[in-house]
Structure 1
């Protein structure tokens, strides 16, 4: 089953892991560094298929040896990472986050973490940077591939080589079609995490192992093929960014680029990747991948918005720990200097699985080991859950505040209130419109307020944001079709800190609506990193109120204030639109109010206000909502 060693593939691993690490550390030159995972997938498919095709003889002994090799390769370096994450989580995670971590730990050991994280988060979503085991999603995809692909190839060994290669090509076509289907339907989480939409990348590597496509023989063509492939990968790293509809067709570029480098089997690209520096990083690439993300996640949890220097120190620590891991754990176990027998390797796998799964189940059953935290923190955790439930009920969640893929028409009819003699006002936007609804309705009982909100809808209408969300586009179409007299006023708001292009589109839409009715734009509220509940639960009962307030002051991010000023600048050019700034009320002179009248933090998650805080804000901004006299007179005369 042994293959002839190719140093350039270790070098290619180095390119992949470095691009991922530097992307996660927010180095701007590596904005597309997430494609390193795609590079890993192709390499993995190539090597695994090469091993299988070299096999001759009974299937049973081969599979036992194959899966033992996977255990020795993948599990031992992961054990200290999981242990570190569990211990650090015990000190730093809230009960809710610890419960989620415990569940993710079970998912890792069952090889289904990609499905787990698909269900709870998007890879590019803000809160995801606080999940210590998020990076294991790609390992689960590979492990699932290992479970079915070797059996498929071995049980079809009687087919001709061309027939088996055709079967692999069919996997490529079907899996890629599934991925494109998800992207075309704006389901990017499924496109990213769903194994069936990712197997094609490993199968592309697999088809290379069949050698149906002849490798270039001349030095010239080796150079052309290899350099083209390496340049394609580099271009993706530099020019791709997380706002793209990825994977989809875009994933073809890094996948084909990697295939070209592997296929070249020589030339300038191979020589560059075979240099000692690249090979050295490639050898420890698995440990680097395992360790960097938990270190980054806890860095984000501790500091909220780590500096480049802090990330650099975390990268240095990652390299140091990974080097030790490679020489002390990975090499000795993988090459049988330690635990030479198969039964020992299986026993290690079984023991580690039982221990970590038991820990994960306990974390789930106890709701995040609440005994770790002071009584005040546990009291807050219970109150927070009650606040979230109350806010969602008041915000008409899943009724008038709907998800990105929900049926807008089903929400429109019951949510748009009929006239009752009061001026009729539409509150529209994303979940931030929803969390203002109950407060504004109470603060302005003289207005008949209807709510239409779709999660993460910016109302800009641009492809990279709103066009991925069908309910949002339906909401925008609804706004664009409004006529004079439909509403006596419209209140627009969105959480997103938009780039200038998107913000101008939002402002222009508000200005067009102002031609037919009274329009108000409500700006952003403050944002914290780490998020407010996570931060507070780790401090309450341990720090004084003054120290907690000071930590909150440091966690408030500048982006919302910059966005607030940009709103003011752009809307100054649109005098028909009235701008209402919650930040001017909540954070006068950038000194923010952090607690509601009951003493709880004003935010109940990453960005949404609790019901009490929302009511307090609505009392402040509600009087600023004015309906033009002519509109009021027309409404009164109806």
Structure 2
């Protein structure tokens, strides 16, 4: 029996043969990780610190391409050897951090975070978490989820995907470089460097074409969908590619690794550093990124690498070549791995949020864990003994990934088991006939005790998923939402398909939260409900401040199209509600509220003119913090999650507009959600919100009698039997 090809290969690089370390690149690493850590700890102090990731990408692209061109791959065996070295360099530390983070999260984080953390951990172990984050970023409700402690692995996923494809590209380009390069490869023999000049222009031109294509895609994707463009690999390849292109250009000119002397190199090095630091302070989360704006930190990093200034004053290499900076650059990978899980998990462990002492502790613990990880994990696996079978790192990688994915799967299974128990408890509570269940508890507070501790229904982890049937995860795939960027009008039908009263539900997600209550009424009164719902986009006739002009136009067009369709179909009743999650485009404060109010007046007049009874539901009070998370963190004292009614209640242009349109009825149900002065996160044993602002489907159903009385007054004849 023959041994597989990969099994016969062995590592040929002895541990003593280690690549030279450039002080300027180590300083760049130190700067990059400092920018990222400071940004994550104190984002208002360094609002553009996220550009540190872009600096890392350029460094990785440069070093990997330099290595590939110094010893160009000729066969699949060479690629396998290259990937084995990447596995040894990156996976041991990353899998250690993922495993530790998953276990600690289970111990200290609220149960509402367990499933999302487990899913992202599994994706991070497989180096595809950036795609999961990209999908979540365009999901309005998923985007509001608390960040997981492994979210920072998105950039490592991009790099690993780059490492998978870039060497193949280099191999193909080397093979296309011409007869002269191939003769040089054969004459050099195994392990001999290839004269870079003999590779000609093919490699730089080929890499340049990929860089250009990725840059164009990045600019277009950032302009159309910046949230997902930030994470996906095609929009980031050009940043790694700039480093690779620089390496190819230097190799072609025979200047790779050559230190440049004179004032030009010094000025170029300082200029590159200055550009990076400037973007760290000048950029912010409001800047569409990456796109062309990423070119500044990317080119700044490339300038420092290209300068390769001498280690003498006033060169940046000399100034930043001091031991503390070089040490930080040396452990920067482990610093990056550890800092974010600590930032996310420490507040759960201390149960008091993050203060200055906590932040200092996070920094110190990161700087303690990083060198230990570097010494005992990174270096331990990075340089194998000569003769080590090439298959070994692949087997270790597969086993390590399987462990992490398996642990994540167990965590998800536990969550699902708990949810099944929670659903059983919910079914029992909702069929018990308890007169104090949910909103009814506020009818007579003296008879119904205040809910101040667990248990509640749904349980916090289940409450986070307790949404209306308009969501596909609830209805089994029936998605009733219009999404950005296109905002097409989408309708769904609920209730009695043969109902004698046709009801339209119009608005964004705060209209959708009333669907469970309307479904209760539809069963009782024979109503047919048609939904016109959009994610985040309010139905007001006003431009709303989305992150691209196209979304601004399409959102307003969706509102107009939905109103026109409703008017053309002559519904008996139209129920409208919206939450203003975005200011009016170009406006803020009271001017934005006034613009929404004027747009709502226009909308309500059109609906009323169609002959339908129109009811505007005043938007519900909003705690603006995750209620399920808070309840899970404080099971013995729910009052921590309560808040003043005056602060939770906000301006509602729809309700104000309804007062200006004769015939339109306003439904204000706040008295059935909050007490006279205080709003609680759980009322009558029921969790009120499934996130920061939206009612749970269970609590919405308990509001059906109160909503029904308002709708009955608006409809001729009361809208059917009660």
8 Å contact kept, 2:511–2:533: yes
8 Å contact kept, 1:489–1:627: no
What is the rounded CA distance, in whole Å, between the counterparts of 2:575 and 2:467 in structure 1? 27
Number of residue equivalences: 613
- State whether structure 2 residue 55 is matched by structure 1 residue 55: no
What is the rounded CA distance, in whole Å, between the counterparts of 1:338 and 1:22 in structure 2? 41
The residue that corresponds to 1:613 in the other structure is 699
The residue that corresponds to 1:248 in the other structure is 291
The residue that corresponds to 2:517 in the other structure is 439
- State whether structure 2 residue 571 is matched by structure 1 residue 493: no
What is the rounded CA distance, in whole Å, between the counterparts of 1:312 and 1:323 in structure 2? 18
8 Å contact kept, 2:491–2:530: no
8 Å contact kept, 2:134–2:231: yes
Structure 1 position 202, deviation (Å): 0.6
Structure 1 position 73, deviation (Å): 1.5
The residue that corresponds to 2:639 in the other structure is 550
8 Å contact kept, 1:457–1:466: no
Choose which of 197, 207, 215 in structure 1 pairs with 2:235.
197
8 Å contact kept, 2:125–2:401: yes
1:282-311 Cα offsets, whole Å, 9 max, x none, are 211111111122222224556585345433
The residue that corresponds to 2:202 in the other structure is 163
- In 2 relative to 1, CA 356–574 (structure 1 residues): closer, same or farther, beyond 3 Å? closer
Choose which of 557, 563, 582 in structure 2 pairs with 1:474.
557
What is the rounded CA distance, in whole Å, between the counterparts of 1:573 and 1:156 in structure 2? 65
The residue that corresponds to 1:314 in the other structure is 362
- State whether structure 2 residue 107 is matched by structure 1 residue 91: yes
Moved more, 8-17 or 265-274: 265-274
What is the rounded CA distance, in whole Å, between the counterparts of 1:551 and 1:273 in structure 2? 48
The residue that corresponds to 1:262 in the other structure is 305
Choose which of 332, 350, 353 in structure 1 pairs with 2:380.
332
- State whether structure 2 residue 272 is matched by structure 1 residue 177: no
SS of the aligned residue for 2:281 comes to helix
- State whether structure 2 residue 588 is matched by structure 1 residue 508: no
1:305-331 Cα offsets, whole Å, 9 max, x none, are 534543343233222221322233223
Moved more, 331-340 or 74-83: 331-340
Structure 1 position 481, deviation (Å): 8.7
SS of the aligned residue for 2:532 comes to strand
What is the rounded CA distance, in whole Å, between the counterparts of 2:172 and 2:594 in structure 1? 61
- State whether structure 2 residue 244 is matched by structure 1 residue 206: yes
What is the rounded CA distance, in whole Å, between the counterparts of 1:502 and 1:366 in structure 2? 45
- State whether structure 2 residue 227 is matched by structure 1 residue 188: yes
The residue that corresponds to 2:459 in the other structure is 380
TM-score (norm 1): 0.79
What is the rounded CA distance, in whole Å, between the counterparts of 1:105 and 1:627 in structure 2? 52
- In 2 relative to 1, CA 25–294 (structure 1 residues): closer, same or farther, beyond 3 Å? same
What is the rounded CA distance, in whole Å, between the counterparts of 2:694 and 2:137 in structure 1? 17
Structure 2 counterparts to residues 292-441 of structure 1, below 5 A: 292-299=339-346, 303=351, 306-336=354-384, 345-364=393-412, 367=415, 370=418, 380=459, 384=463, 387-388=466-467, 390=469, 392=471, 401-405=481-485, 407-411=487-491, 428-439=506-517
8 Å contact kept, 1:186–1:468: no
Moved more, 392-401 or 66-75: 392-401
The residue that corresponds to 1:145 in the other structure is 162
8 Å contact kept, 2:207–2:241: yes
TM-score (norm 2): 0.71
SS of the aligned residue for 2:537 comes to coil
- In 2 relative to 1, CA 370–434 (structure 1 residues): closer, same or farther, beyond 3 Å? closer
Structure 1 position 132, deviation (Å): 2.3
Structure 1 position 508, deviation (Å): 1.0
Structure 2 counterparts to residues 25-44 of structure 1, below 5 A: 25-44=41-60
Choose which of 257, 261, 277 in structure 2 pairs with 1:234.
277
Structure 1 position 332, deviation (Å): 3.5
8 Å contact kept, 1:395–1:438: no
8 Å contact kept, 1:39–1:258: yes
- In 2 relative to 1, CA 292–429 (structure 1 residues): closer, same or farther, beyond 3 Å? farther
SS of the aligned residue for 1:452 comes to strand
8 Å contact kept, 2:468–2:512: no
Q: Please tell me whether Structure 1 or Structure 2 has the larger radius of gyration of its CA atoms.
A: 2
The residue that corresponds to 1:81 in the other structure is 97
- State whether structure 2 residue 655 is matched by structure 1 residue 526: no
In structure 1, runs of 5+ residues without a counterpart are: 633-638
The residue that corresponds to 2:11 in the other structure is none
- In 2 relative to 1, CA 106–395 (structure 1 residues): closer, same or farther, beyond 3 Å? closer
Structure 1 position 108, deviation (Å): 2.6
Structure 1 position 140, deviation (Å): 1.4
- In 2 relative to 1, CA 373–15 (structure 1 residues): closer, same or farther, beyond 3 Å? farther
What is the rounded CA distance, in whole Å, between the counterparts of 2:73 and 2:462 in structure 1? 63
- State whether structure 2 residue 324 is matched by structure 1 residue 277: yes
The residue that corresponds to 1:636 in the other structure is none
8 Å contact kept, 1:292–1:314: yes
8 Å contact kept, 2:109–2:345: no
The residue that corresponds to 2:534 in the other structure is 454
The alignment's C-alpha RMSD in Å is: 4.8
8 Å contact kept, 1:370–1:378: no
Moved more, 8-17 or 212-221: 212-221
Structure 1 position 47, deviation (Å): 0.5
- In 2 relative to 1, CA 385–131 (structure 1 residues): closer, same or farther, beyond 3 Å? closer
SS of the aligned residue for 1:116 comes to helix
- In 2 relative to 1, CA 527–22 (structure 1 residues): closer, same or farther, beyond 3 Å? farther
1:552-608 Cα offsets, whole Å, 9 max, x none, are 23xx6x9x965845x3899999984999887676445763222244x2211224532
- In 2 relative to 1, CA 177–619 (structure 1 residues): closer, same or farther, beyond 3 Å? farther
SS of the aligned residue for 2:201 comes to helix
What is the rounded CA distance, in whole Å, between the counterparts of 1:123 and 1:292 in structure 2? 27
What is the rounded CA distance, in whole Å, between the counterparts of 2:544 and 2:558 in structure 1? 10
- In 2 relative to 1, CA 351–425 (structure 1 residues): closer, same or farther, beyond 3 Å? closer
What is the rounded CA distance, in whole Å, between the counterparts of 2:160 and 2:580 in structure 1? 38
Moved more, 345-354 or 618-627: 618-627
Structure 1 position 201, deviation (Å): 1.0
Moved more, 297-306 or 249-258: 297-306
1:67-96 Cα offsets, whole Å, 9 max, x none, are 232122212222331221121232245666
- In 2 relative to 1, CA 393–462 (structure 1 residues): closer, same or farther, beyond 3 Å? closer
8 Å contact kept, 2:230–2:289: yes
The residue that corresponds to 1:635 in the other structure is none
- In 2 relative to 1, CA 469–600 (structure 1 residues): closer, same or farther, beyond 3 Å? farther
Structure 1 position 455, deviation (Å): 0.9
